[in-house]
Amino acid sequence: MAIEKFTISRDDSVYECFPSLTQLKSGRIILTYRESDSHPASKYARVIIRISDDQGKTWSDRKVLIATEQTDGCLTKYNCPKAQQLKDGRVMIVCDVFAIPPGECPEIKPHQELFFSSDNGDTWSRPQPINVSGIMPDEVIELDNGDWLLATQAHAVQYVVRSTDQGKTWGEPLVVAAEKGYVFCEASIVKMPGGELVCYMRENRGMGRPIYKSISKDAGKTWQGPFETLMGSGHRPVAHLTKSGKVLITYRHQPGGTGVWAKNTFAFLESADSALQTDRSKQSGIVLPLDHDRNPKSDGGYTGWVETSPGEFLMVNYIKDDAPMAYIRGYRFSEKDF
């Protein structure tokens, strides 16, 4: 079938960007994203929540989870929220927070904040800052022993940190990927059926390098890699297991060079065996083009997705395309489309 595209939220006076999506056990879908004055944000930043109880056909009015404005030339910037439901039923949003411009507000150090809901997203706690530095957090990975892993990036290195008390305290950063001449960031970790962890990452030197991955076989204590994947010129992967046991990754395509900024958003479907292969020549998967940004000043490709029913996917993306400011677009596609 043809990929279905539709607008979820568009306000041409606001930059709506960096969406994340989660589906609760009840079937409710929660969307979170950032509103700001621009992509980098300098005047204001707001974390927004919208809810759907009909598999994404309709959405609630926007709810502002938290909002900040520039004061004395400084903005406390909420950046990229990620939503998920924990094993205990609570819904959690993690978001990175830092000062704009950097260094102008020394009391604001880059960190993460957690928001919780115990009623399926109807009401939310106040932000709970945690002592985890870096930016661009992944969702929390809940391990079989109850530990939490959270990936963030700092100083060209991709890290994970561990909590043994459900996010109250966190250990020291552990390196997932670091290599001279490379900048690894924007991790998305998948817990595989056999217990292995596969961490997909963007390489951020602007040279059109593929998405990379590192693999852990000891619950995130040590990591092998990084290894190349088949996803060429990829940014901001969002990876999860599908109900069929495959790994689906949505991502932005950015080939580098001197041309226009990223125009295309792709999905990649591979087997669990391929995801665990370290040799690129032994990997196998299929790329599905999802959208093309026609705007001369294109911007987008940060995605989130859920599997609404077996083999059927709902994805969100931010895109400029036919608008002066970025907005949130939805997509429906099927495993059969690959």
State residue 96's pLDDT score: 98
What is the DSSP-derived secondary structure letter of residue 126? Answer: P
Structure tokens belonging to residue 299 = 């911007």
Which residues touch 238 (CB under 8 Å, ≥6 apart)?
A: 188, 249, 250, 251, 303, 304, 305
> Quick check: 12 and 323 in contact, CB under 8 A?
yes
Q: How far apart are CA 318 and CA 36, in angstroms?
A: 13
**Amino acid 108: pLDDT:** 79
Closest CA to 80 of 11, 153, 170: 153
Task: Give mean pLDDT, residues 247-257.
Answer: 96
Whole-number pLDDT of residue 1: 62
pLDDT of 260 higher than 70: yes
pLDDT of residue 2: 85
Residue with tokens 């001369």: 296
Ordered DSSP codes for 175-187: EEE--TT--EEEE
Neighbour order of strands in the sheet with 327-334: 4-9, 327-334, 312-319, 300-309
Confidence check: pLDDT of 259 > 90: no
> Contact, 235 vs 268, CB < 8 A?
no
Q: Is 272 helix (H, G, I), strand (E, B) or coil?
A: helix
Alpha carbon 126 to its chain centroid, in Å, reads 22
Q: Report yes or no: 285 and 272 within 8 Å, Cβ to Cβ.
A: no
186 alpha carbon, distance to own chain's centre: 7
Name the pLDDT band for 197 (thresholds 50, 70, 90).
very high
Look-up of token digits 């998948």: 190
| DSSP-derived 3-state class of residue 273 | helix
Given a cut of 70, is residue 338 above it in pLDDT? yes
H helices of the chain, in order, are: 272-276
Dist CA 301 CA 51 (whole Å)? 21
Kindly state the average pLDDT of the residues 83-108: 90
Question: What pLDDT sits at residue 209?
Answer: 97
Instruction: Quote the pLDDT of residue 275.
Output: 98
Q: What is the pLDDT of residues 50-74, one digit of tens each?
A: 999 999 999 999 999 999 999 989 9
Task: Answer yes or no: is pLDDT of 102 > 90.
Answer: no
For 122, the domain range is 4-337
The contacts of residue 15 (CB under 8 Å, 6+ apart) are: 35, 36, 37, 38, 39, 41, 325, 326
Q: How would residue 124 be classed by pLDDT, with cut points 50, 70 and 90?
A: very high
- Give the other-Cβ count within 10 Å of 94's Cβ: 24
What's the structural domain count of the chain? 1
pLDDT of residue 105: 74
Residue 92 and residue 116 in contact, taking contact as beta carbons nearer than 8 Å: yes
Give the pLDDT score at 270. Answer: 98
pLDDT digits (tens, 9 = 90+) for 135-186: 999 999 999 999 999 999 999 999 999 999 999 999 999 999 999 999 999 9
In percent, the amount of the chain with pLDDT more than 70 equals 99
- CATH number for 121: 2.120.10.10
Tell me the backbone φ, ψ of residue 278, rounded to 5 degrees. Answer: -90, -25
Residue 329 CA neighbour count, 13 Å, CB half: 23
* Average pLDDT taken over every residue of the chain: 97
Q: What is the largest CA-CA distance in the chain?
A: 55
Mean pLDDT of 76-97: 98
